[in-house]
Chain A
Amino acid sequence: MTNELKEWPLWEIFIRSKQGLEHKHCGSLHAADARQALEMARDVYTRRQEGVSIWVLPSSAITASNPDEKGELFDPAADKIYRHPTFYDIPDAVGHM
């Protein structure tokens, strides 16, 4: 049957370090299925209480932007400095705004 999977598939691991914070990518590991990936992630990435919640995602399910297209993708934002608060001069007398 499927003999291409001799090696356990790769999973990407995301950890929420504490309640109120986002899940953050912290690495990857091999596991046979999602449940096992969760258990392994606990042992590999949270041995010192680094997390309160774990997401695992098959690495193959990630679609990434192409670094070669970085220019086309991100340059359009480069000349829109008026999107930043520091673009606007406000008299000191106004105080914090």
Chain B
Amino acid sequence: MYTQSFNVQDTPGAKAVASVQSKEDPALQAAFDARIDADGRIEPQDWMPEAYRKTLVRQISQHAHSEIVGMLPEGNWISRAPSLKRKAILIAKVQDEGGHGLYLYSAAETLGTSRDQMLEGLHSGRAKYSSIFNYPTLTWADVGVVGWLVDGAAIMNQVPLCRCSYGPYARAMVRVCKEESFHQRQGYEALLVMMTGTAEQKAMVQDAVNRFWWKCLAMFGPPDADSPNSLQGMRWGIKRISNDDLRQKFIDATVPQAKVLGVTLPDPDLKWNEERQHFDYGQIDWDEFWATVNGNGPCNKERLATRVKAYSEGAWVRDAAMAHARKQQERSMKEAA
């Protein structure tokens, strides 16, 4: 559920794909362009420019990785949820994230990449995932804030992806968005409950909001002026709304929610602009964002190590299931012979 305007280059410093001049068959290219211009959909067997395929593989796999890594900060609180009800909700949510990762991996596989290749990319540290998960969830209030703000930002990003030009990605996103609303609402409601509690509990909510607010704004990706990939993504119908517009929508939607909840958002420059009919907001720390994307956030190493450990310790299960299936098949073939 969590894309950060996913088009961060996997290899730092790699050149952006912006405005690729295709060396491919001009007739096929023209047919493809015409379909995109008519707001048509591209399906797996259709011809597509190599750069379009590559961009999608990168974006969808980064998105899938984010879902899977996104299970970790919240999974961290399953055993310590404050009640059985909250525990059941959190388990369901984390399971959803796993499901979302699977829908997305499947969508990426229709482009000719394999699950193993994608996992190898993640485990080797080459492939990126949303940098928001490289921050720790320190208190129970963080779990609520992740639902309210992180999932809220993700929903803003994902709703337009339901109209993405690549059919399998768009269909996966429809499914994801249907399930996502529960995630945001459960987080917000958990915070509402905390805000009726003690002064200490209220302070805990405020502290979590303070720590996550700016990081959530960064989830939408760099400002439009600094996102060379965005234009090409828009041209291809992969991206429908620019990073800055999505960020603005998120802020405008969130400010009244914060008011109802009774917390302040940690930005002295945040105020309504009558002329623009939007909230103005302060400067995002992009140096910190890039440092985290490039591996130097507080939890990058821990997250990756946890994934690699889970994968390698599960190897014998995968092998055993495969061996069992093979044996069954051989047995039934022998019986048939």
Contact = CB atoms under 8 A, between A and B. Distances in A.
B99 A43 contact: yes
Interface string B37-71: 00000010111000000000000000000000000
Contacts of B326: 1-2, 5
Contacts, number: 53
A7 B106 contact: no
Interface in B50-102: 92, 95-96, 99, 102
Interface stretch (A22-30, A72-80, A89-97): A22-30
Given A32-B325, A47-B96, A66 B45 contact: yes
A8 B99 contact: no
B109 interface: yes
Contacts of A20: none
Interface in B85-125: 92, 95-96, 99, 102-103, 106, 109, 114-116
Given A5-B322, A7-B116, A10-B109, A29 B328 contact: no
B43 A8 contact: no
A64 B45 contact: yes
A84 interface: no
Main secondary structure of the interface of B (DSSP, over half): helix
B314 to A, nearest CB: 12
Contacts of B103: 27, 44
Contact of A33 (B172, B179, B328): B328
Nearest to B43: A67
A66 B44 CA distance: 11
B235 interface: no
Interface string A2-40: 100111101000000000000000111110110010000
Interface string B293-337: 000000000000000000000000010011011101100000000
A24 B96 CA distance: 21
B114 A7 contact: yes
Nearest to A1: B326
Interface in A38-97: 43-44, 47-48, 64, 66-68
